[in-house]
């Protein structure tokens, strides 16, 4: 299924498909009519508004239109091959081109694409998926609420936590504490809870009753709970490893300390496993790696490997109790596509692949080699720090250089693309790495070689600087 490593060569130097953008063919894969000399008319025809982009800088000549994927590689409309260093946006864990998932979705769509799951209704794939996720998740006797994506799952968990406290007679417990550098999606709740301030600017007040603490300090959380008053704090939310904020693993014993603190103060613990869930850290879930059991576990991305959007919340016994026991109460919340049958069929086929190919164990076994490859970039003069955990990585660019050239990471990203490597900037400070679980050692080495040349290019300042969004410097992704 994977492209032959040799086809990559040194990130495509020897490939039969030209990976590196040649001198004359910059943008040959980009199909804007700009080559036809009528840029303005072409601009008027553009309709697709890209996320996290300044559309004043994205012409159709700049767009990279991806048409196909196979394993860890994707191809653009001009046939150019790229090694996808990020598995899309941290999701395509089983790799591209999995016919089993496509077939499962097709089968389900022919039978029943979707039906309401409000009230009494359910469908077979949703029932089976919730059963399976509850067995896999490190949450005792779990129940599962399905959503459309990670942002909705964060919103669901936050609302569920507050609704829980209201139902058990503690309606003042409303504050939810998050962390600096955290990313919890782009719904209003997630934007409010997250710790990447650039993403919350320009809206005025979003969701009230949120607070942020340092991402690496149990004491900071203890102080904030104290400051708010435990009687006002509903929950604490955190990613086992911070992802979009720059791939920051927790300090030793951080999560055990947080779990204990939350227990002592009667604060619910929400683990946002949208990136770390389903194997990314070499365990099914990040909580297992760090030895704690959350009250609520948020998932998305890896549950379907992104073949179809789907997310959800795994709910532990404490939070279930007032909703499921005694006379119960309706949780007046749900999405049109909660439990979408075709999305759940995709998830089941994806989990089949992860299990039958033992991909979680593969990530765990591959981690040392992955780390060795990525850490070899640490010696580059433009690199400040490298962080690796599981099959995640981030390469921080020199702070000093960044001060002088704020668009430096975006420059490296653009150079990398010309080397046949697709990656992106995390907060304008780091290069994002989270390939599919099926990446080979040869591909990891090719990735490092391509990144190293991309860094060289930025160091020499030799690369041309077309006005791509990555180069504009003010479009920091997430």
Ligand X SMILES: Cc1ncc(COP(=O)(O)O)c(C=O)c1O
Where do contacts with ligand X occur on this chain (CB under 6 A)? Answer: 89, 149-151, 154, 183-185, 239, 243-244, 272, 274-275, 300, 311
**Which residues contact residue 24 at a Cβ distance below 8 angstroms, ignoring those fewer than 6 apart?**
none
Q: Do 411 and 423 form a contact (C-beta atoms < 8 A)? A: no
Q: Which lies closer to ligand X via its Cβ, residue 76 or residue 272?
A: 272
Alpha-carbon span 341 to 146, nearest angstrom: 11
Give the nearest distance from C-beta 41 to ligand X in angstroms. 34
Alpha-carbon span 211 to 223, nearest angstrom: 12
Q: Which lies closer to ligand X via its Cβ, residue 89 or residue 351?
A: 89
Nearest to 280 by CA among 462, 449, 447, 434: 434
Give the nearest distance from C-beta 146 to ligand X in angstroms. 13
Collapsed DSSP state (helix, strand, coil) of residue 234: strand
Q: Residue 219's CB: how many other CB atoms inside 10 A?
A: 11
Q: Which lies closer to ligand X via its Cβ, residue 42 or residue 478?
A: 478
Q: Which lies closer to ligand X via its Cβ, residue 80 or residue 387?
A: 387
Measured in degrees and rounded to the nearest 5, phi and psi for residue 461 equal 60, 20
Q: Which lies closer to ligand X via its Cβ, residue 194 or residue 455?
A: 194
Q: Which lies closer to ligand X via its Cβ, residue 92 or residue 449?
A: 92
Nearest to 84 by CA among 214, 208, 94: 94
Give me 297's structure tokens: 């576990």
Collapsed DSSP state (helix, strand, coil) of residue 311: strand
Q: Do 337 and 343 form a contact (C-beta atoms < 8 A)? A: yes
Nearest to 443 by CA among 2, 1, 96, 5: 5
Give the nearest distance from C-beta 114 to ligand X in angstroms. 18
Alpha-carbon span 238 to 184, nearest angstrom: 9
Q: Which lies closer to ligand X via its Cβ, residue 300 or residue 353?
A: 300
Give the nearest distance from C-beta 359 to ligand X in angstroms. 20
Alpha-carbon span 351 to 129, nearest angstrom: 9
Q: Which lies closer to ligand X via its Cβ, residue 162 or residue 424?
A: 424
Give the nearest distance from C-beta 1 to ligand X in angstroms. 25
Measured in degrees and rounded to the nearest 5, phi and psi for residue 238 equal -155, 155
Q: Do 53 and 21 form a contact (C-beta atoms < 8 A)? A: no
Alpha-carbon span 22 to 78, nearest angstrom: 13
Q: Which lies closer to ligand X via its Cβ, residue 11 or residue 89?
A: 89
Give the nearest distance from C-beta 394 to ligand X in angstroms. 13
Collapsed DSSP state (helix, strand, coil) of residue 380: coil
Give the nearest distance from C-beta 306 to ligand X in angstroms. 9
Alpha-carbon span 299 to 437, nearest angstrom: 18
Collapsed DSSP state (helix, strand, coil) of residue 313: strand
Give the nearest distance from C-beta 224 to ligand X in angstroms. 20
| Cα four-point dihedral sign 134, 438, 434, 150 | negative
Q: Which lies closer to ligand X via its Cβ, residue 150 or residue 195?
A: 150
In three state form, how does the secondary structure of 340-395 look? CHHHHHHHHHHHHHHHHCCHHHHHHHHHHHHHHHHHHHHHCCCEEEEEEECCEEEE
Give the nearest distance from C-beta 274 to ligand X in angstroms. 4
Give the nearest distance from C-beta 390 to ligand X in angstroms. 14
Q: Which lies closer to ligand X via its Cβ, residue 75 or residue 437?
A: 437
Give the nearest distance from C-beta 425 to ligand X in angstroms. 14
Measured in degrees and rounded to the nearest 5, phi and psi for residue 97 equal 80, 20
Nearest to ligand X by Cβ — which residue?
A: 150
| Cα four-point dihedral sign 305, 308, 309, 312 | negative
Q: Which lies closer to ligand X via its Cβ, residue 272 or residue 410?
A: 272
Radius of gyration of the chain (CA): 23
Give the nearest distance from C-beta 244 to ligand X in angstroms. 5
């Amino acid at each position: 299924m994977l492209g032959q490593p040799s086809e990559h060569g040194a990130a495509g130097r020897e490939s039969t498909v030209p990976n590196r953008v040649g001198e004359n063919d910059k943008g040959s894969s980009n199909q804007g009519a700009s080559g036809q000399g009528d840029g303005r008319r072409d601009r008027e025809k553009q309709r697709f508004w890209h996320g996290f982009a300044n559309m004043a800088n994205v012409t159709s000549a700049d767009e990279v239109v991806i048409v196909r994927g196979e394993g860890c590689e994707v191809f653009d409309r001009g046939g150019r091959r790229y090694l996808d260093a990020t598995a899309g946006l941290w999701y395509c864990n089983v790799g591209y081109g999995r016919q089993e998932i496509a077939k499962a979705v097709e089968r389900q769509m022919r039978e029943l694409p979707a039906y309401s799951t409000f009230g009494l209704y359910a469908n077979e794939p949703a029932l089976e998926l919730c059963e399976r996720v509850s067995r896999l998740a490190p949450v005792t006797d779990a129940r599962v609420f399905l959503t459309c994506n990670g942002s909705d799952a964060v919103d669901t968990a936050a609302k569920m936590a507050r609704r829980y406290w209201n139902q058990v007679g503690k309606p003042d417990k409303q504050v939810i504490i998050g962390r600096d550098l955290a990313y919890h999606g782009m719904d209003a709740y997630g934007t409010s809870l997250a710790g990447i301030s650039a993403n919350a600017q320009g809206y005025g007040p979003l969701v009230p009753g949120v607070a942020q603490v340092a991402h690496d300090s149990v004491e900071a959380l203890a102080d904030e709970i104290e400051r708010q008053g435990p009687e006002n704090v509903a929950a604490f939310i955190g990613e086992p490893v911070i992802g979009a904020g720059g791939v920051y693993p927790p300090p030793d014993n951080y999560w055990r300390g947080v779990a204990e603190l939350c227990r002592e103060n009667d604060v619910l613990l929400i683990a946002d496993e949208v990136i770390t869930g389903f194997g990314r850290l070499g365990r099914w879930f990040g909580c297992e790696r760090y030895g704690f059991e959350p009250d609520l576990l948020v998932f998305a991305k890896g549950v379907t490997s992104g073949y179809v959007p789907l997310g959800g919340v795994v709910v532990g016994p404490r939070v279930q109790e007032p909703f499921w026991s005694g006379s119960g109460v309706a949780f007046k919340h749900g999405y049109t596509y909660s439990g979408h049958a075709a999305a759940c069929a995709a998830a089941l086929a994806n989990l089949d692949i992860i299990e039958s190919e033992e991909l979680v164990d593969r990530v765990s076994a591959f981690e040392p080699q992955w780390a060795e490859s990525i850490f070899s970039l640490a010696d580059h003069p433009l690199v400040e720090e490298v962080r690796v955990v599981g099959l995640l990585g981030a390469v921080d660019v020199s702070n000093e250089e960044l001060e002088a050239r704020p668009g430096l990471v975006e420059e490296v990203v653009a150079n990398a693309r010309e080397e046949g490597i697709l990656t992106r900037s995390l907060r304008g400070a780091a290069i994002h790495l989270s390939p599919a679980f099926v990446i080979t050692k040869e591909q990891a080495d090719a990735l490092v070689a391509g990144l190293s040349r991309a860094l060289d290019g930025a160091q020499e300042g030799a690369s041309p600087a077309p006005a791509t969004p990555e180069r504009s410097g003010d479009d920091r992704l997430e």
